[in-house]
Amino acid sequence: MVYGDCIEAYSCLAALLQSGLPPRLLAFIEPFPSRDPLAMRVNCFNNETVDKRVQKSIEDLGITAYRRCTLVGWTISGSLISAVKLLSPKKELVLPCFALFYYGVNGMDLRTFKGT
């Protein structure tokens, strides 16, 4: 799974495909847009035509895309992530996962912050 809406996320998808991973095993998760309803969504390519072509290529390759989702957690089995929990505008999704490439907002939760 590749989570993010930035050049690095798309580059990661390309690298995974280039390494021979079948597109049917890949999932692209586009983060939910800004909470500010007045904020304009500017894609990472800063070009609507390029963005549409990239999104169409992802679809044509057979990569599963989940749009407007927020990563809310994951399930760990042993020391590995086995499932990812996403919140879409309509429902919660729990998807099996064997690798997660996260290119979302960098942050630190309160417990981690207090521990440092």
Per-residue pLDDT tens digits for 2-13: 999 899 999 999
- The domains of the chain are located at 2-115
Q: Do the Cβ atoms of 5 and 102 come closer than 8 Å?
A: no
pLDDT at 15: 98
pLDDT per residue as tens digits for the range 44-87: 888 999 999 999 999 999 999 999 899 999 999 998 999 999 99
Query: Which pLDDT score is estimated for 38?
Result: 64
pLDDT, averaged across the chain: 87
pTM of the model: 0.82
Task: Determine the 3-state secondary structure of 89 from DSSP.
Answer: coil
Question: What strands, in cross-sheet order, belong to the sheet with 27-31?
Answer: 92-96, 80-87, 64-77, 27-31, 2-4, 101-103
Right CATH number for 2-115 from 3.50.50.60, 2.40.160.40, 3.40.50.620, 3.90.1150.10?
3.50.50.60
pLDDT at residue 116, rounded to an integer = 46
